[in-house]
Structure 1
Amino acid sequence: MRREYDFSKGTKNPYVSKLPKQQVTIRLDSETILYYKQMAQRTGIPYQTIINLYLTDCMKKSRMLEFSFPEPSK
């Protein structure tokens, strides 16, 4: 290994064209994690990448979550 390297003729990484990913903490149901981990095994894509791809797709298509709270039992 050299003591010094010459990077004067180096080029930027062409694959870093978008913002780097940001690490976040998110709480997911164990069933949800299992679902994406199983999908990861089938596809060979890491489950965190699959979740990111899904969320990105929702964002690009401006999908809105439809949900309702269950009626409280009396």
Structure 2
Amino acid sequence: MREEYDFSESVPNPYAKKLKKQVTIRLEEETVDYFKSLSEETEIPYQTLINLYLKDCVKAQRKLSLEWIN
């Protein structure tokens, strides 16, 4: 390994804005269990499945509809 490297001609990472952001989110156990079971079936990590589902919601511009029953 060199003692010093020359980065004078380096370019910024074009994919830097596409990197994922780590967040903390509190989910109900039932929700996590659901995605974990899907994970076992599909062999895709459950956190990736949750991200894919949310990404699909964004693409489809889905809006949450809440109705309160008295």
Which letter does structure 2 place at the counterpart of 1:55?
Answer: L
TM-score by length of 1: 0.71
RMSD: 2.5
Alignment: residue pair count: 68
- The ranges of structure 1 where at least 4 consecutive aligned residues each deviate by more than 4 angstroms after the TM superposition are none
Q: Which runs of 5+ in 1 are unaligned?
A: none
Give me the identity figure in percent: 50
Where does residue 68 of structure 2 map in the other structure?
Answer: 69
TM-score by length of 2: 0.75
CA deviations over 1:8-27 (Å, ceiling 9, x no partner): 8xxxx89x475100000001
Which letter does structure 2 place at the counterpart of 1:63?
Answer: R
Where does residue 59 of structure 1 map in the other structure?
Answer: 58
Where does residue 10 of structure 2 map in the other structure?
Answer: none
Whole-angstrom CA distance in 1 between matches of 2:17 and 2:45:
20
